[in-house]
């Protein structure tokens, strides 16, 4: 399967920075063009999307998933998902929720749980929510009941009173990490349902880390303890 960027032949002009190079990384043109050789050379594997084979695949996906259908990508990720779920309290359409979802996709968590409002700000997710199992719970009690039924330990990531250092914590393999909204933190009801609260060590003057950054750090801490090497 062709891999990497689909680029025109090199020329002398290549040494001059183009407007494309000045764009932010997330909006630069990425991906591959139409499958070389035309329809006669297309793979017969049903995971491939015929429309993408014809037009090219400009999605922000790793080369392994070039030209695959969304359903095929979701199925493959689900088959390899880690035993880590994350939950986010959606109090005020927080922009950070999308960024947390994007990190959840990068670490291939088994599920994302939105607590509170059903509608959430997806801009920061960069459409990665399409490839994840995203569930909604109207209130914390429903999420906590789900965790008990499925045998997941609920761990809160928060720097409030009584929180222990994340860096020295043994994280459970079947783990549901919960994050509060930016500013408010984890609600009292959800905090009461956590087996423990963990905080990320800080060395500067700010009282707290942005919740999206904290979520990425916490998920990676779990990965270091329970996941093998990332695929090439």
Residue 113 domain flag: yes
* Residue 182 structural domain: 80-226
Bridge partners, 113 (sequence order): 87, 135
Is the pLDDT assigned to residue 12 strictly greater than 70? no
Residues 106 and 44 occupy one common structural domain: no
Do 28 and 98 have their domain in common?
no
pLDDT in the model for residue 172: 99
pLDDT band at 77 (very low <50, low <70, confident <90, very high): very high
Q: Average pLDDT, stretch 207-216?
A: 94
Flag whether 186 is in a domain: yes
Quote the number of domains for the chain. 2
pLDDT at residue 9 above 50? no
Residue 8 inside a domain? The answer is: no
Answer yes or no: do 49 and 89 share one domain: no
Question: What is the chain's alpha carbon radius of gyration, rounded to the nearest angstrom?
Answer: 21
Average pLDDT over residues 76-95: 93
pLDDT grade, residue 22 (50/70/90)? very low
Residues 161, 134 within the same domain: yes
Co-location of 205 and 146 in the same domain: yes
Is 141 inside any structural domain? Answer: yes
Tell whether the model's pLDDT for residue 8 goes beyond 60. no
Q: What angle do CA 138, 142, 146 make, to 5 degrees?
A: 135
The answer on pLDDT for 55 being more than 80 is yes
Query: Over the stretch 149-196, which tens digit does the pLDDT of each residue have?
Result: 999 999 999 998 999 999 999 999 999 999 998 778 999 999 999 999
CA distance to 61, 63, 71, 76, per residue, from 67 (Å): 10, 9, 12, 14
Q: Are 83 and 173 in contact (CB under 8 A)?
A: yes
Q: Are residues 38 and 95 in the same domain?
A: no
Average pLDDT, the chain: 89
Three-state DSSP state, 137: strand
Do 123 and 46 sit in the same domain of this protein? no
Same domain, 30 and 90: no
Residue of 2 and 33 predicted with greater confidence: 33
On whether residue 165 sits in a domain, the answer given is: yes
**Helices (runs of H) and strands (runs of E) counted in the chain:** 7, 7
- 157 domain-assigned: yes
Examine residue 6 and state whether it is found in any structural domain, yes or no: no
Is the confidence at residue 11, as pLDDT, over 80? no
Q: Which of 23, 49, 69 is the last residue of a domain?
A: 69
Residue 170 in any domain: the answer is yes
Q: Looking at residue 95, what is its pLDDT?
A: 86
Residues 135 and 158 in one domain: yes
Same domain, 119 and 24: no
Asked if pLDDT for residue 216 goes beyond 90, the answer is yes
Reply yes or no on whether the pLDDT at 72 is more than 50: yes
Q: How far apart are CA 156 and CA 199, in angstroms?
A: 9
Read off the pLDDT of each residue in 134-152 and give the average, rounded to a whole number.
98
Residues 116 and 202 in one domain: yes
CATH of the domain at 99: 3.40.1280.10
Tokens at 8, concatenated: 């025109």
Tell whether 29 and 88 lie within a shared domain.
no
- The pLDDT, as a whole number, for residue 18 is 42
């Amino acid at each position: 399967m062709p891999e990497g960027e689909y680029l025109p032949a090199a020329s002398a002009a290549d040494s001059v920075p183009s407007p494309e190079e000045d764009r932010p990384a997330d909006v630069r043109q990425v991906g591959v063009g139409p499958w070389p050789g035309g329809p006669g050379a297309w793979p017969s594997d049903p995971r491939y999307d015929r429309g993408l084979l014809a037009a090219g695949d400009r999605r922000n996906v790793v080369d392994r998933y070039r030209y695959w259908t969304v359903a095929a990508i979701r199925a493959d990720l689900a088959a390899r998902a880690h035993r880590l779920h994350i939950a986010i309290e959606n109090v005020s359409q927080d922009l950070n929720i999308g960024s947390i979802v994007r990190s959840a996709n990068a670490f291939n968590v088994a599920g994302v749980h939105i607590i509170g409002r059903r509608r959430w700000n997806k801009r920061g997710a960069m459409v990665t929510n399409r490839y994840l199992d995203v569930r909604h719970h109207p209130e914390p009690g429903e999420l906590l009941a789900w965790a008990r039924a499925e045998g997941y330990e609920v761990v809160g990531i928060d720097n409030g009173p009584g929180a222990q250092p994340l860096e020295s914590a043994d994280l459970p393999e079947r783990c549901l990490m919960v994050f509060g909204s930016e500013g408010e933190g984890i609600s009292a009801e959800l905090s009461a349902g956590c087996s423990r609260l963990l905080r990320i060590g800080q060395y500067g003057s700010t009282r707290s880390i942005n919740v999206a950054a904290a979520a990425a750090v916490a998920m990676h801490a779990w990965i270091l303890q329970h996941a093998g090497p990332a695929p090439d």
